[in-house]
Structure 1
Amino acid sequence: MDGRIKEAVDLFQEVMLYGTERVIKAIDDPLWKEFSPEQMQMLKLISKEKRVTSSRLAVLQAVHKSAISSRIKKLLQKEVIRFVQAEQQDRREKLIELTEQGEKILAQSDKVLTDYIEKLMSEHVNDEEIDQFLTIFRKLKDIIKTDGVS
C-alpha cells in the first residue's frame, strides 16, 4: 500500500507522543498532579484486564519489572489497587485489581480526559470525521484482537 501505511504509523505515533504531552500540560486537575501519566495508564490497563500480574503489566507498559514494582507500591499506598490470589493455576501468583477507590479515580480521570478531547475536537473535527475515525479504530482493534494480541 505504497507509503500510506508508514505515514499512518508515523502520524499515529506523533499523536500519541505529542498528544499525551499536550493533554498532560493542558489539563489542570488535581488528580493529574497526584498520579503520574504512567500510573494512570497502569490503572487503565488493570481496569481493561480486570485482574493482571505485574509481569503482564511490564509487558503492556514496555518497561522493566522494577519500574512496575515501584508504580505498584505507590498505587498500593494510595489504596487504588490491591493484590488478590489467583484462583486456579498457580496459587502463588498474585494478581492485581482495582479497588473501589481506584475505579472512582479512573472514572474521574476518564471524564476529565474525555471532556478535554471533546472540546479540542469540537473546534477542529466534524461529525463525519469522528465517524470515520471510529470506524477505522474499531476495525484496527478487531484486527489486533483477532491476531491474538490483547
Structure 2
Amino acid sequence: MKKSIIAGIVAIAIMFSAAAQNEPEADTPQFEVKVITSIESIVPLGLGRSRLISTDSTRDYTEFSSEQTEVDNTRNRTKRKDIRVKDFEETKLLNFFNAGGIRFQNIAANDAVISSKLTAMLAEGWELIFVTSAVESDAGESDNQGIFITRYIFKRGMVNNHAP
C-alpha cells in the first residue's frame, strides 16, 4: 500500500510538472499584434498610387537593432534586403483626386474596401486597439506629391504562445 501511495504522489507530481512546462511564463505577452496600413494618394490628377497593405510575415526587431552607447556608437549595419518583406497582401484603393479635383466617390469606395478588411480582421478574432494617421500634403505647383496614411493596429490573444 505504501508503494502505491508513493507511486500516486510521483504520478501527480509528474502531471503538475508537465502542466507547468506547458503554461506560459507570467511575464510573457499572451497576444500578438498586427498592423494594417492604408496609403491613399493625394497627388493631383489622380496620378498617385493608393493601396491597403497587410502581411502575415513576421520580423524580430532585435535582429535589426543596435544599441548606441557612449563607449560603442557603431552604426547599425543591417542590410535593407534582410528587413524587406516580399510576401504581403496589396489591395488596390482609389486616389483621392482626379482631373476635376477631390473625388468623393473614390473616398466612399475606399471606405467600403477598408471597412471590409477591418470586418474580416474582427471576424478572425483580432481586436482593433489603435488607429493613427498622418498626411504629407501637396505643397503647391512645384511639389505635386502627397499621401494620406493610416495604420490600424490590432491585437489577438494567443494560445500557448502560438496564434489560434
For normalisation by structure 2, the TM-score amounts to: 0.22
Structure with the bigger percentage of helix: 1
Larger radius of gyration: 2
TM-score by length of 1: 0.24
Higher share in strand: 2
